[in-house]
């Protein structure tokens, strides 16, 4: 078993403890895939960005245990909480100390509005994480986490994703509070593409998702 397989086996059960599914294993799996893809597009080694992606939301487990989850867009906390768990897991798995430091920095800063350092792993992780907040999947995550539409279960295929979009629009058409929360959350994620992406490849990689979120926001704004 290689190191990536070992870390996947180690962290998957921890993410399975998260009750808020938008930050559970499905999200982690998506961010790992995006970190790998962006690394390839940027021409850098994909190993540490994937390691960081596996670890970046471990603090969400701690937040749920402490009942300190904050769904307001832009709220902070879980990134810092992820660092001690990341360091322990990577140390226990025998990772090189320099690699541990690189990954821990990336994990610790991934929630910042704009990372200004030169840690390439951190730059890629931020962009990979933000992809999962945009597009067909991202608007569903925002609806459940930020707008607190608990009726939406994790969609398993394209048809269920379409059904989830229809259900979101139906619910917020009669609930102005949730509609406003959805507007704020969607505008917040759209700003990532306009202002905050780190890598050149990310603008290409996230473009279709950004366009979908723009169109979905327009549908929300047109609701009466």
The answer to whether residues 146 and 161 belong to one domain is yes
CATH (domain of 54): 1.10.3210.10
Whole-angstrom Cα distance, residue 197 to residue 215?
20
Structural domain containing residue 27: 1-129
- What integer is the mean pLDDT of 188-199? 92
Domain end residue (candidates: 79, 99, 129): 129
The answer to whether residues 105 and 47 belong to one domain is yes
pLDDT over 80 at 214, yes or no: yes
The answer to whether residues 11 and 118 belong to one domain is yes
The answer to whether residues 121 and 141 belong to one domain is no
- What integer is the mean pLDDT of 93-121? 93
In the chain, the number of structural domains is: 2
The answer to whether residues 116 and 137 belong to one domain is no
Cβ proximity of 124 and 32 under 8 Å? no
The answer to whether residues 67 and 122 belong to one domain is yes
Q: How many residues does the chain have?
A: 224
The answer to whether residues 44 and 140 belong to one domain is no
Whole-angstrom Cα distance, residue 155 to residue 93?
33
Provide the 10 A C-beta neighbour count for residue 179.
Answer: 19
pLDDT in tens, 42-80: 999 999 999 999 999 998 887 777 665 555 555 557 878
Whole-angstrom Cα distance, residue 208 to residue 22?
20
The answer to whether residues 94 and 137 belong to one domain is no
């Amino acid at each position: 078993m290689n190191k990536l397989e070992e870390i996947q086996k180690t962290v998957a059960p921890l993410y399975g403890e998260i009750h808020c599914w938008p930050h559970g294993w499905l999200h982690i799996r998506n961010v790992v895939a995006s970190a790998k893809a962006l690394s390839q597009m940027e021409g850098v080694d994909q190993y540490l960005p994937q390691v960081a992606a596996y670890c970046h939301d471990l603090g969400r487990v701690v937040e749920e245990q402490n009942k300190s989850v904050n769904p307001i867009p832009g709220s902070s906390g879980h990134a810092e909480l992820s660092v001690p768990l990341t360091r322990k897991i990577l140390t226990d798995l025998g990772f090189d100390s320099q690699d541990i430091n690189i990954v821990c920095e990336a994990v610790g800063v991934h929630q910042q509005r704009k990372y200004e350092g030169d840690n390439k792993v951190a730059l890629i992780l931020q962009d990979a994480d933000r992809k999962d907040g945009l597009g067909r999947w991202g608007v569903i995550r925002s609806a459940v986490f930020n707008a607190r539409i608990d009726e939406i279960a994790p969609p398993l295929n394209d048809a269920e994703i379409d059904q989830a979009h229809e259900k979101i629009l139906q619910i917020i058409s009669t609930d102005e509070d949730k509609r406003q929360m959805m507007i704020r959350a969607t505008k917040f994620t759209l700003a990532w593409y306009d202002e905050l992406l780190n890598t050149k490849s990310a603008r290409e990689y996230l473009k279709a998702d950004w366009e979908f979120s723009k169109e979905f926001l327009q549908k929300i704004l047109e609701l009466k």
